[in-house]
Amino acid sequence: MNDQKSEPEISEDSSSPLGSGMTRQEYWKKNITCVLSLLVVWFVVSYGCGILFVEQMNKISIGGAQFGFWMAQQGSIYVFVVLIFVYVRLMNRLDREFTGTCQNEEKVQTKGEEQS
Amino acid sequence: MDVQTWTYLIVGFTFTLYIGIAIWSKAKSTKEFYVAGGNISPIANGMATAADWMSAASFISMAGLIAFSGYGGSVFLMGWTGGYVLLAFLVAPYLRKYGKFTVPEFIGERFYSKTARLVAVLCLIVVSVTYVIGQMKGVGVAFSRFLETDYNTGLFIGMGIVFFYAVLGGMKGITYTQIAQYVVLIFAYTVPAIFISLELTGNPIPQFGLLGNVSDGTPLLQKLDTVITELGFGQYTNSVMGSKLNMFAYTLSLMIGTAGLPHVIIRFFTVKKVSDARLSAGWALVFIAILYTTAPAVAAMARLKFTKTIQVDKVGEVSGNIEYEKRPEWFKNWEKTGLLKHEDKNGDGRIQYYNDADKSFASVASEYGWKGNEMTKVDKDIMVLANPEIAKLPGWVVALVVAGGLAAALSTAAGLLLAISSSISHDLLKGIFRPEISEKQELNASRIAMVGAILLAGYFGLNPPDFAAGTVAIAFGLAASSIFPVLMMGIFVKRMNREGAIAGMIAGLGVTLLYVFQHKGIMFIPGTSYMGGMEDNWFFGITPNAFGAVGAIVNFVVAFIVSKMAKDPPEEVQNLVEDIRLPQINEN
């Protein structure tokens, strides 16, 4: 009785397959690509600019601060916030493409009964 | 009105508010008790998560820590925010899709093993209990210092308030109170920061003030560097913490530790669907970032202000140092608490505050006639609390800061207590020992577990054990080296099996604990540290606090090796992994 019954199963009554199909493997691959590329940015702004290459970055200045120092104490945090919202947008779009596909092509098996 | 009256008024008002919310949001089912019914909006959950996350340490200690470590303190800023990126990308959506109540429950089902679930419950309890002790202490201290009650009374009042809304409302009550607490704490944090930024740089936004100029036209940070290096301290903007490698490992440990803390993860179970979990992580970070980008500004400004209070004029001239008799009122107030101490070593009736540990500066100092640093104690924690007094702000601002500190401590304590009680009633009782109990019995059990958890936390608050001092090392070390890797492998490595996961968890945990205990004593009992002949931080100069990242690597490596030697996970577990990776279909 523990499950949060929120997700209704995919409707099985789909008939006409439409063009842009996407299998669950493709969905997962795109998901991983999206996450990895955003994590590269995450790494560069914090570990890269803020720690590893901080001296080089400090040669640039932003307002009255050195850029490397600023990235470590402020800049990276702003980038983190932006990154999550970019991720939300990209994933919502990917989800829509995928669900559109499944509703038409039943490419996803119904979810396991372990939920109920 | 004086500060005392204001404090009673504002703290009293916020406490009444929390109790009102508790009565209004009583939990009626286990689902409401564990996950607030699962229909909290992403923004509301983001706000609650921010309050849940930002503890007494973030509110009171962090800015002071940065003030005295300068650039090196960046590890806390990046570590405790960057972890949310990992939470959003790698943890929250998948665990929300899994859609049950606790983190050990996921680990147990994914690795088809009650042992794995039990190990996870143990990690969770150790992490959460050490963490909650710090919060309880914070409540006691805030009361005793500002309301002139004693420490124990303060602690009992704090326990009473948490008791009321956490036992009655469970996650539902906690969520709505945390939202109120966020508003109180963020207001309390930013108001003094705005005033101090205005005074020093003329810019009302502290984040910009940090980049601004002080009244003589030099940039704030440059001024700060000059002022403190003249006194023999290291430069503010360049002082590395340990080594670069240590900073790297420290930041990484805090980030992956954040993404592995159960009391934070369960907050994402309260939203309606997977896409809301992602969005909610974004909002949580927005609300957290407001405080976390203000903190470095507060830190730099407070350090400058504090130093200039003592070193009023040119270094080396007699009149450059303030006369002890002319010290400001706030200085006297904090001396009373023992957190600020002065000792007139050269008997000149003035205060000299400088770095006497720096050998090259020693000769300069003796030329000045200084005989050692006379500020024998400057507790870092006073920076945020003393800020409004230093900036000569009205009494209500001081009172607000007290209410903010209490809100930060109480909201985090409640979140941790819920994580503890749900792992006891749901994982241990319902999951392992008494699966036959009804929902109603489980709900009662969870309330009893909550009462037990509060009493335990209170007991440790009254009798702080030695290991309370190592809270950060142990909480983040455990979360980073055990919970985070096991979650990652559970979600991203379909073939990871029970044997690999358990071996990895034990190895990661073991290595981290060995390193921490070697440096700080077994269970932090002084004198029991072993292998004493080894130099400090012998593993590539990495400090015990930063060691969780290494533990995580050990966990991954061991898990992969062991998993190759055992059978693949059963079909239904592989299907479960497939399932949590897919988005929800037909969301409403």
Tell me: the pLDDT tens digits for B174-217?
999 999 999 999 999 999 999 999 989 999 999 999 998 988 88
- Shared domain check, B344 and B471: no
State whether ipTM is beyond 0.85.
Answer: yes
Are the beta carbons of B251 and A47 separated by less than 8 Å?
Answer: yes
Contact, A35 vs A88, CB < 8 A? no
pLDDT above 60 for B337:
yes
| Mean pLDDT of the region A51-60 | 91
Cα of A65 to nearest chain B Cα, Å: 6
3-class SS at B376?
strand
Closest partner CB to A50 (pick from B74, B99, B272) = B74
pLDDT of res. B104: 93
3-class SS at A109?
coil
pLDDT of res. B75: 92
pLDDT above 50 for A7:
no
Are the beta carbons of A4 and B99 separated by less than 8 Å?
Answer: yes
Contact status of B281 with chain A (Cβ, < 8 Å): yes
Which of B342, B366, B386 is the C-terminal boundary of a domain? B386
Contact status of B572 with chain A (Cβ, < 8 Å): yes
Which of B358, B386, B414 is the C-terminal boundary of a domain? B386
Residues 6+ apart with CB under 8 A from B23: B168
- The pLDDT tens digits of the residues spanning B531-547 come to 554 556 667 778 888 88
Are the beta carbons of A77 and B38 separated by less than 8 Å?
Answer: no
Higher pLDDT, A29 or B56: A29
- Shared domain check, B427 and B350: no
- Shared domain check, B159 and B204: yes
**CA distance linking residue B352 with residue B343, whole number of Å:** 9
Which range of B50-54, B391-395, B455-459, B467-471 scores highest in mean pLDDT? It is B50-54
* pLDDT confidence tier of residue B525, bands split at 50, 70 and 90: low
pLDDT of res. B162: 84
| Mean pLDDT of the region B327-349 | 84
**CA distance linking residue A115 with residue B575, whole number of Å:** 12
Are the beta carbons of B85 and A1 separated by less than 8 Å?
Answer: no
Contact, B417 vs B448, CB < 8 A? no
CATH number at residue B23: 1.20.1730.10
pLDDT above 70 for A6:
no
pLDDT of res. B534: 57
Cα of B256 to nearest chain A Cα, Å: 13
Contact status of B293 with chain A (Cβ, < 8 Å): yes
- The pLDDT tens digits of the residues spanning B78-116 come to 999 999 999 999 999 999 999 888 999 999 999 999 999
**CA distance linking residue A109 with residue B535, whole number of Å:** 58
- Shared domain check, B248 and B146: yes
The two structure tokens encoding residue B456: 């335990």
3-class SS at B377?
strand
| B586 within some domain | no
Helices B42-53, B395-422: crossing angle, 10 deg rounding: 100
| Mean pLDDT of the region B139-145 | 74
B216 phi, psi to nearest 5 deg? -85, 5
pLDDT above 70 for B468:
no
pLDDT of res. B475: 81
**DSSP line for B314-359:** -TTSGGGBPBGGG--HHHHHHHHHTSEEE--TT-SSB-----TT-H
**CA distance linking residue B566 with residue B573, whole number of Å:** 15
- Shared domain check, B212 and B74: yes
Contact status of B286 with chain A (Cβ, < 8 Å): yes
* pLDDT confidence tier of residue A114, bands split at 50, 70 and 90: very low
**CA distance linking residue A76 with residue B34, whole number of Å:** 34
Which residues form the domain of B422? 3-304+390-581
| B67 within some domain | yes
| B212 within some domain | yes
pLDDT of res. A104: 56
| Mean pLDDT of the region B551-555 | 95
pLDDT above 90 for B23:
no
Contact, B299 vs B383, CB < 8 A? yes
pLDDT of res. A81: 97
- Shared domain check, B365 and B243: no
3-class SS at B40?
strand
Higher pLDDT, A102 or A68: A68
3-class SS at A66?
strand
| B587 within some domain | no
Interface of A with B in 42-81 (CB under 8 A): 42, 46-47, 50-52, 54, 58, 62-66, 69-70, 72-74, 76-78, 80-81
- Shared domain check, B414 and B342: no
pLDDT of res. A109: 44
pLDDT above 80 for B479:
yes
* pLDDT confidence tier of residue B526, bands split at 50, 70 and 90: low
Q: Which residue, B413, B421, B579, B417, is CA-closest to B490? A: B579
Contact status of B58 with chain A (Cβ, < 8 Å): no
pLDDT above 80 for B122:
yes
Are the beta carbons of B89 and A35 separated by less than 8 Å?
Answer: yes
* pLDDT confidence tier of residue A80, bands split at 50, 70 and 90: very high
Are the beta carbons of A7 and B587 separated by less than 8 Å?
Answer: yes
If you measure CA to CA, which chain B residue comes closest to A74? B293
Closest partner CB to A114 (pick from B85, B218, B572) = B572
- Shared domain check, B207 and B139: yes
Closest partner CB to A102 (pick from B208, B221, B585) = B585
Residue B470 burial class via C-beta count within 10 angstroms: exposed 0-12, middle 13-18, buried 19 and up: buried
| B588 within some domain | no
* pLDDT confidence tier of residue B385, bands split at 50, 70 and 90: confident
Domain boundaries, chain A: 24-104
Q: What's chain B's average pLDDT?
A: 87
pLDDT of res. B60: 84
Q: Return the C-alpha torsion angle B550, B555, B557, B560, nearest 10.
A: -160
| Mean pLDDT of the region B253-259 | 94
Cα of A41 to nearest chain B Cα, Å: 11
Are the beta carbons of A115 and B99 separated by less than 8 Å?
Answer: yes
If you measure CA to CA, which chain A residue comes closest to B442? A2
- Shared domain check, B283 and B432: yes
Are the beta carbons of B581 and A91 separated by less than 8 Å?
Answer: no
Number of domains in chain B: 2
- Shared domain check, B216 and B325: no
**CA distance linking residue B60 with residue B134, whole number of Å:** 12
- The pLDDT tens digits of the residues spanning B389-425 come to 887 888 888 889 889 988 998 899 889 999 999 999 8
Closest partner CB to A42 (pick from B30, B82, B582) = B82
Contact, A96 vs B98, CB < 8 A? no
How far lies B400's CA from each of B5, B52, B330, B405, in Å?
12, 19, 17, 9
* Cα angle B404, B394, B329; round to 5: 100
CB atoms within 10 A of CB B122: 16
Cα of A16 to nearest chain B Cα, Å: 18
**Residues of chain B with pLDDT > 70: what percent?**
94
Cα of B91 to nearest chain A Cα, Å: 12
* pLDDT confidence tier of residue B522, bands split at 50, 70 and 90: low
Higher pLDDT, B475 or A103: B475
Which of B348, B371, B386 is the C-terminal boundary of a domain? B386
| Mean pLDDT of the region B244-271 | 92
The two structure tokens encoding residue A13: 């009554």
